[in-house]
Structure 1
Amino acid sequence: MSGCIAIIGAGQAGLQLALSLRTLGYGGRVVLLGDEPGLPYQRPPLSKGFLAGQETLEDLELRDPSIFEEERIELIAGKRVDAVKVGDERGELTLDDGATLAFDTLALATGSTARRLPIPGADLDGVLTLRDVADAERLCAELEAARDVVVIGGGFIGLEIAATARAQGKTVTVIEAAARILARVVAEPVSAHVSDWHRAQGTTVLINAGVTELTGTDRVTGVVLADGTSIDADVVVTGVGAAPSVALAQSLDLPVERGIVTDESGRTSHPRVFAVGDCTVQPHPTVPGRLIGIESVNNAVEQATAAASAILGHEPAPRGVPWFWSNQGELKLQMAGISDGHDHHVVRGDGSDGRLSVLYYRGDRLIAADVVNNPRDFNAVRNALAKGATIDPEAATDVEVALKSLVR
């Protein structure tokens, strides 16, 4: 098979797609286009090791630079794709410098962008988001001189930043509008355990707290809550979620429901346009008829690998068990499966030893688990889900019994 496959987006999903095409024997041109300068890099460490100064940008590179020449992958970095057209036989994209590229097949791996708070003061200096390496470098520089750090949003990114800043000796306040942190992704026992851990480190965690204004003249100096409370802040980080980047998909009239609608192998409604990674929504793995966006390295790799097979007309391999992790200082949260759609859960442990596991069920079937500081439980659940097995919920509450022995 010859021709040209253009991949817009040079992150984890885009690079994986390019490499998988070569692994499967594609011999035509593979062009990987990214709007950031430099080589493709890992994003998860930006809020952890990179922000803490433990990892460099070179450490974050997804692959050795030699891989691009070896695999004949043409990397066009630091260029934005402004427009795309897809005709009956071929397509063409236009870069921000006016250059054009003709292609036979297009893959969108455009990722997502950080949401911003629509409140007064959101554009002040010292108000930051964290989505790419430029954001991380800016935040690193700001934290050096900061004393009072406020994180708006009690999701994974916000809590990881909070843990890193607190470890640097900063006064840290996390502000969450919902009734508990991580409310959209974990059960209440996990939220409570994670909250307790952060508070034990000296972080202030506020819930049911809306933010109405960021104060300051040129630079942020404070955060005003809905109840009128004012909190001092040298740096404010907003971690209130991300929006899939779908503008190019919309210009092609592809279906978009928050993200670009695909099947589990990245196929869109157009036979020669595929989409992979954080910019997509795909069929829910356990709830028929529901679409879900899965933001994880695991999903980016698996969906891109499947898309490469689909592009080349091969039968994609079955997808594995979705998994995700969040390192917040010494607290390590691992998630296996998708808990969305569960009808009950069981709690394993009380967290007094730092460990806690919550297993999610629909009917009598295990569908997911959230595990804190207990890799054995995580591996047991992940292996059970991979085999289509389950774990007796009543027996699982006994922490004296190894979870892997209960798989059936």
Structure 2
Amino acid sequence: MGSIVIVGAGECGARAAFALREMGYDGKITLIGAEPHLPYERPPLSKDGLSGQLPPKYVADAERYRVAGIEVLTDTPVSAIDRTDKSVTLTDGTSIAYDRLLLATGARARTIAGTDDASRRIRTLRTHADAEEIRRELAPGRKLAIIGGGFIGLELAATARRLGAAVILIEGLTRILSRGVPEDIAAVVAARHRAEGVDLRCSAKIERIDADENCARVVLADGETVDADLVVIGIGAIPNTELAAAAGLAIDNGIAVDATLQTSDSDIYAAGDCCSFPLCHYGDRRVRLEAWRNAQDQGTLVAGNLLGAGEAIASVPWFWSDQYDLTLQIAGLAEGASTTVRRDLSDSAFILFHLDDTGRLLSASGIGPGNAVARDIRLAEMLIAAGKRPDPQALILPETKLKALLAA
């Protein structure tokens, strides 16, 4: 029957466990997580998980794991991998044998030096426990300072404003969303935040952050100070590779895997936020994606490959962010684009298409209220996967059916 051990009880690990059962695997499955909760989804942590004081949005309840015959160990960190004996060791000394091992260890929030344990007034947002701590400060009359103008920081800013807290967002670069989001779309997002009362400070370098039990103070390089009831640092994430590195597995901006998600050990696979992999649609460029869709896709793919399918990654990167009534969606990666054209869907929704110098569509980025851009972004994703070279002028015209371009 065999035994598959999954280290990392998040979205990716849980999806892989259930997919193994759906694919007919009847051996032992052990899913091991360091947090006290069953696997839950992280995107709500900066949105509804904050605004509604909700419990985690679980991937599945305990009964479903029981029925599927998946043993879930929560609040159980893994301390080591023994590749010779093919076992993992828990922090209490218990050893669990595996025939195949999946590392879905995810990532942790990046911090600023000197703030790790400085005060409860300085937080990051990565876990449900983090969200619970932050939620206590999101109320009228409270002031929140957010470091970082990426998705997490901006989503948190939108939620905090909805709950009545004052928000200052500090970004070191010249604009928000500088990583992978076109400037035209970032400008729409910035304008909306300012209209909602968020104080956006770009090109603001931080000297240090001071804090005590009562308040926090951000000291900027130009001498200006920003006082707040809470400072939340949202400057990206670091892949959790320590277990893999200690076991001698190859590391390259994450646990290095091939196109089938296999590590440098043929019996160990890695998936989700913790791994870097070659992306076939972009010349096998090695990337690491911190994205909900990627965790789901790779969880399913790796389940089959743990059972010998040998299937290569073929999905196109996809990202989204909800802020106020706006939804931003991106399919693909725009790096290497030489031409960008704009398709206006309405007065408040548009899509940018990014093509390389051969005319191949690399990426599409859209923004608008609700689901205004969802259908066209989905079709653009399919065009990218098919390697299409659509006529740029056809992309501009809103009356052009993208489905027709896909069939051409």
TM-score over 0.5 for the pair: yes
Does the CA-based 8 Å contact 2:169-2:199 persist in structure 1?
yes
Q: C-alpha separation between the residues in 1 aligned to 2:293 and 2:40?
A: 15
Does the CA-based 8 Å contact 1:120-1:212 persist in structure 2?
no
Q: C-alpha separation between the residues in 2 aligned to 1:360 and 1:128?
A: 36
1:317 Cα offset (Å) = 6.8
Paired amino acid for 1:56: L
Of stretches 376-385 and 21-30 in structure 1, the one that deviates more from structure 2 is 376-385
Does the CA-based 8 Å contact 1:265-1:303 persist in structure 2?
no
Secondary structure of 1:182's counterpart equals coil
1:352 Cα offset (Å) = 8.3
Match of 2:246 among 236, 243, 251: 251
Task: Give CA-to-partner distance per residue, 1:5-53, whole Å, 9 cap, x none.
Answer: 1100000110111112112221211100001112111110110011111
Secondary structure of 2:50's counterpart equals coil
1:103 Cα offset (Å) = 1.5
Number of the residue aligned with 1:382: 381
Does the CA-based 8 Å contact 2:32-2:74 persist in structure 1?
yes
Does the CA-based 8 Å contact 1:121-1:215 persist in structure 2?
no
1:318 Cα offset (Å) = 5.9
1:355 and 2:349 equivalent?
yes
1:61 and 2:58 equivalent?
yes
Paired amino acid for 1:366: L
- 1:229–1:189: structure 2 CA closer, same or farther, 3 Å change rule? same
1:22 and 2:21 equivalent?
yes
Paired amino acid for 1:183: S
Q: C-alpha separation between the residues in 1 aligned to 2:186 and 2:114?
A: 27
Match of 1:74 among 64, 71, 75: 71
Paired amino acid for 1:57: P
1:93 Cα offset (Å) = 1.5
1:405 Cα offset (Å) = 5.1
Match of 1:311 among 294, 299, 306: 306
1:64 Cα offset (Å) = 3.1
1:402 Cα offset (Å) = 5.1
Q: C-alpha separation between the residues in 2 aligned to 1:219 and 1:75?
A: 39
1:143 Cα offset (Å) = 2.0
Does the CA-based 8 Å contact 1:12-1:41 persist in structure 2?
yes
Number of the residue aligned with 1:92: 87
Does the CA-based 8 Å contact 1:149-1:234 persist in structure 2?
yes
Identity percentage of aligned residues: 39
Secondary structure of 1:257's counterpart equals coil
- 1:356–1:140: structure 2 CA closer, same or farther, 3 Å change rule? same
Match of 1:171 among 166, 176, 182: 166
Q: C-alpha separation between the residues in 2 aligned to 1:317 and 1:338?
A: 19
Summarize the alignment of residues 6-405 of structure 1 with structure 2, pairs less than 5 Å apart.
6-53=5-52, 56-57=54-55, 60-87=57-84, 90-119=85-114, 123-144=118-139, 147-316=142-311, 319-349=314-344, 353-363=347-357, 364-373=359-368, 374-399=373-398, 401=400, 403-404=402-403
- Superposition RMSD on alpha carbons, in Å? 2.1
- 1:121–1:23: structure 2 CA closer, same or farther, 3 Å change rule? closer
- 1:395–1:317: structure 2 CA closer, same or farther, 3 Å change rule? same
User: What TM-score does the superposition give when structure 1 sets the normalisation length?
Assistant: 0.92
Q: C-alpha separation between the residues in 2 aligned to 1:46 and 1:223?
A: 24
- 1:280–1:252: structure 2 CA closer, same or farther, 3 Å change rule? same
Q: C-alpha separation between the residues in 1 aligned to 2:115 and 2:299?
A: 40
Paired amino acid for 1:35: A
Task: Give CA-to-partner distance per residue, 1:180-224, whole Å, 9 cap, x none.
Answer: 111111121111111111111111111111111223444433211
Task: Give CA-to-partner distance per residue, 1:56-109, whole Å, 9 cap, x none.
Answer: 225x0112322211211110111100111011xx41211122222111211100
Does the CA-based 8 Å contact 1:52-1:164 persist in structure 2?
yes
Of stretches 239-248 and 145-154 in structure 1, the one that deviates more from structure 2 is 145-154
Task: Give CA-to-partner distance per residue, 1:302-333, whole Å, 9 cap, x none.
Answer: 22222222221124276333212111121111
User: What TM-score does the superposition give when structure 2 sets the normalisation length?
Assistant: 0.92
Secondary structure of 2:65's counterpart equals helix
Q: C-alpha separation between the residues in 1 aligned to 2:219 and 2:316?
A: 42
Task: Give CA-to-partner distance per residue, 1:103-139, whole Å, 9 cap, x none.
Answer: 1211100000001111579722311100011111111
1:289 Cα offset (Å) = 4.6
Q: C-alpha separation between the residues in 2 aligned to 1:135 and 1:302?
A: 26
Does the CA-based 8 Å contact 1:261-1:268 persist in structure 2?
yes
The gaps in structure 1 that reach 5 residues or longer are none
1:269 Cα offset (Å) = 0.7
Paired amino acid for 1:4: S
Paired amino acid for 2:396: T
1:340 Cα offset (Å) = 2.9
Of stretches 168-177 and 114-123 in structure 1, the one that deviates more from structure 2 is 114-123
Does the CA-based 8 Å contact 1:214-1:220 persist in structure 2?
no
Q: C-alpha separation between the residues in 1 aligned to 2:381 and 2:285?
A: 22
Q: C-alpha separation between the residues in 1 aligned to 2:60 and 2:28?
A: 19
